[in-house]
Structure 1
């Protein structure tokens, strides 16, 4: 719990006089609730955070043996404190090509639609989310890894960010290894913050990162694959844009040991080129948690940033015993990301209303 000190001159004037002490020495201590880490119960990893419909949403991997990873759950919260579970928003039993195993790292975006629009207007995707309510026909697209290399698929929901989602293609969107990158760990970034609105799919394991543009229908690809692998890259790409700068974040080290962490490079476009010297900003420690990685970032207002990631409790030795955590992520005056301080207390509540 974080103490907050405030001065209340109108209500404390008489008290100050009675005690014969200067008014500015009297403080009232109140507390703001904190979320605590982990933020949700159970073993969950690879969390993606979004804001949809006045709620924060988490889309994680169920962290278990590959043959038990046959579905995705989601979680929603109005304030980062209380979370509601939305079970099995996508089930691999209905997707034959998935091999019904190794459901990993979902990424969800929304295509906004309005009730009325001019003939010349068209729906547009958004990955940043906002606090507006859903439109009557908003569509949600989930990009996911299946079968430990069977491919990256795309599923669709027309009923809201909590699904249910259904396979949109009947086959993988990315069916094979590209530039040495295993087709896993998809993330979709829509350049809608002062950009051109194009949607980009990032993915890649086995130490290689690839980006490709999504088609206007969001279930096809256009253009060519581009390898954008920075030094030290292992998996878990995440693109963030702030102040016109593109921050390409990614996991480094080994996900099953204490070397796991998050680094980033920057560029002036979503496809690079990026700076050549990555900066590591997320690491574990022996008192709070270890194997910290596979992050996403969410901001409700463009000022406060939260890094969402998984870590392994310090006393856990099972590699699949990973939990989802949220901590603050801050920048210096030059726009550099500062090293993240991982906590057990978590972040203060932050309602979206």
Structure 2
């Protein structure tokens, strides 16, 4: 049952629970929420962040209906030591963006008969007089893992009921056989275009897009995959003046806290252009989640952080709070970078003057424009095979096998080199190098990347014949002529990154000898990510970090690498 609480003044935090169902209990809770003095020492003005302070909330999803703006959110209730415990979906409403009414719980995961827990990210849209609720839950037997359900109601406040009787998408629907994880199907965003067609996008690590049938509970055609740099999860679709926007949390799969990135496209199916970082990480929270909406002729950006404390309980990864900022566009349609503030929308809109360029590296350094080598980017996004016929390749299907991103920021110590060893079957002159790589912040003057190729020292005959040893030593760099070989790279989606060697830099590589190709960078930086396999796909080599073998569960893998060149005639 919905509970209407005005939140224009600080209120005593109240804890909603599935056990509290009687009208008497609801009345008591309402009185406490309306008339008690806040236990939070800090006072807030209407419109300041966080905008909801009666309970912990996460994953904001705004919806405009007439002159009212609704925001749906998960109720965060993680206890000490818990990562997440999101028990229900609640909704708030406003007509002025400052004073909010709390309507309480509108649905719980177990309202889907096939689900067992976890009220993860959701979005509600209106179509033809019905309100469609697309959300993430934990699927019960016989399936396991996260799934997307669809509920429907006659009003924005519910009651919502299961519209399909089964999951719209679950792990078997979107298989990634070489990259299995049971939270693949999460965080749906739903968008109805001007022609009435409704699209849904979702996913963790993989970003899926599908068209919905008019019944809103079935896919109409194939599930596509969208490739954007640094994508992690939590997508949000919107459209403005004919341009499509896809905003998403990024970098979490790259050993970093989530930031917010976005891309644009002239058609919803792409191609999508990466536009950089919209806003940096939030305080105390590993995650961030977007909600973008136009209301009253103005644009707004919702997100969550973990700054709020309630009843002395501090914010945390599973105790987050929703915040709100004004959103502004440049004349070319790009979004001006967003600064997270306490003031939020309590202050009048003050559009920053002039063009504000997209952020690629939070340090602000421009991407380096000089390079000592001819670089081709985006040659083949999500390549399932190498272009042409390489002389040597470490895996024959990089997209499906090279699934682990590695940069110089791994773990606590980081690294200054990533290396792949190999031994050719034939003598050849090396002309071109192709890596399966992408993501990251891009190369800068302060965070450069250089390329090196060494012939390895032989410790003994046994190690020379092995595909991998625990570490290696290097001698002369076969690609150097004076200075190190710098590369220029801007963030790209995972795909082929190709280096074309000038004639004077083309070394002759000998069959049976052991070499290592290295990417060298600044420790604890992430200009790009070279992807590797989890298993041994190249028998005469292996992947190394700081010249030490990378092993997972006693298994070594290989970086995605292909070498091209001209075979040498036998003398």
For the superposition of Structure 1 and Structure 2, which TM-score range results when normalised by the shorter chain?
A: 0.7 to 0.9
Structure 1: state its 5+ residue gaps: 1-32, 113-137
User: Is residue 297 of structure 2 the alignment partner of residue 311 of structure 1?
Assistant: no
Query: RMSD of aligned C-alpha atoms?
Result: 2.4
> Structure 1's 83 and 225: CA in aligned 2 closer, same or farther, altered over 3 A?
same
User: Is residue 303 of structure 2 the alignment partner of residue 269 of structure 1?
Assistant: no
Q: Deviations over 1:5-39 (max 9, x none)?
A: xxxxxxxxxxxxxxxxxxxxxxxxxxxx7501011
User: Is residue 35 of structure 2 the alignment partner of residue 35 of structure 1?
Assistant: no
Distance in 2, Cα, partners of 1:108 & 1:251 = 19
Residue number in structure 2 paired with 1:102: 118
Distance in 2, Cα, partners of 1:211 & 1:269 = 13
Residue number in structure 2 paired with 1:202: 201
> Structure 1's 63 and 270: CA in aligned 2 closer, same or farther, altered over 3 A?
same
Which is greater in Rg?
2
Deviation of 1:107 (Å): 0.8
More displaced stretch, 33-42 vs 242-251: 33-42
Distance in 1, Cα, partners of 2:49 & 2:346 = 11
Residue number in structure 1 paired with 2:138: 147
Deviation of 1:97 (Å): 1.1
Which structure is richer in relative contact order (CA contacts within 8 A, separation 6 or more)? Answer: 1
- What is the TM-score normalised by the length of structure 2? 0.47
Structure 2: state its 5+ residue gaps: 1-44, 140-144, 177-182, 349-571
Residue number in structure 1 paired with 2:22: none
SS in 1 for 2:110: helix
Distance in 2, Cα, partners of 1:292 & 1:185 = 13
> Structure 1's 87 and 77: CA in aligned 2 closer, same or farther, altered over 3 A?
same
> Structure 1's 179 and 271: CA in aligned 2 closer, same or farther, altered over 3 A?
farther
Distance in 2, Cα, partners of 1:217 & 1:314 = 40
User: Is residue 93 of structure 2 the alignment partner of residue 80 of structure 1?
Assistant: no
Distance in 2, Cα, partners of 1:176 & 1:301 = 39
- What is the TM-score normalised by the length of structure 1? 0.74
> Structure 1's 258 and 162: CA in aligned 2 closer, same or farther, altered over 3 A?
farther
Distance in 2, Cα, partners of 1:71 & 1:259 = 25
The answer to whether the Cα contact below 8 Å between 1:109 and 1:141 also exists between their aligned partners in 2 is yes
Deviation of 1:83 (Å): 1.2
Which residue of the other structure, out of 325, 337, 349, is the alignment partner of 1:339? 337
Residue number in structure 1 paired with 2:405: none
Aligned residues: 282
> Structure 1's 67 and 243: CA in aligned 2 closer, same or farther, altered over 3 A?
closer
SS in 1 for 2:185: coil
Residue number in structure 2 paired with 1:171: 166
SS in 2 for 1:236: coil
The answer to whether the Cα contact below 8 Å between 1:179 and 1:210 also exists between their aligned partners in 2 is no
Distance in 1, Cα, partners of 2:307 & 2:67 = 31
The answer to whether the Cα contact below 8 Å between 1:258 and 1:284 also exists between their aligned partners in 2 is no
